[in-house]
Amino acid sequence: MVDESKCDIIVIDDEEDVRESLKQLFSLEGFKVYAMADAKEALGFISTKFHGVIISDIRMPEMDGLTFLKEVKKLNKLLPVILITGHGDIKLAVKSIKLGATDFLEKPFNPNDLVNQVKVLSSQRQAVIESYKGLETSSLKKMTDDFEKNRICYSLEKHEGSILSVMKELKLPRRTLNEKMAKYKINRQLFIS
C-alpha cells in the first residue's frame, strides 16, 4: 500500500533485474515507484512538478547517469538524485557529487542503507515542499485579502460611505459586502462626510 506521506521515487537502470528489485524494495516500504530502463524516458517523465527522489544508474546506453544528472539539475536544483554504479571509483564519485548528486553508491550496496537514505531524503523533500506551499498559500491569500479590503475602502471613500453605491460599483449583494466589511474590520462610519 502506498504511503501518501512519502514522496514518489523514480528508478532508472538499464538492467531489468536491478530495476525490478529496487521497485519491489521501495514498493514494500510504501513508496510509489516508477521504474524506467533509460534516462531519456525518465527525463520525459520528470517535470518541475515532480517532488520525489531519483535513483539512477550511471552507466547506461544513449544517456549516461552523469548527463542525466545535469539535465535533472536544470529542471530542479533541489531534486535529490542518488547515483549507483557497478564500476565506481573515487574520481567518478567526486565528479558525481560536484555535479549535484545527493549520494553515490557502488553495486552491490546494502539495500537497507539505500532505503534509509531515501527515507531521510523523502522526509526532507516533503518538509521543503510543505514550507513552499505554506509560503505560496499565505502570501497569495494575504495579497488577495489586502486587495479586496483596499477595493472596498476605496469605493466607500469614493461614495462617502454609501452602501448602496458601493454595492452597485463592486457588484456585491448587501449581505456579501457586510460580511467582507466585518471580516476586514472596516467601519463605514469613517467614510461618511
**pLDDT (tens digit per residue) in 19-69:** 999 999 999 999 999 999 989 888 888 876 778 899 999 999 889 899 999
15 HSE (CA, 13 A, CB side): 12
pLDDT band for position 138 (cuts 50, 70, 90): low
pLDDT band for position 88 (cuts 50, 70, 90): confident
The residue among 177, 109, 66, 141 whose CA lies nearest residue 188 is 177
pLDDT band for position 145 (cuts 50, 70, 90): confident
For residue 8, give the C-alpha cell.
514518489
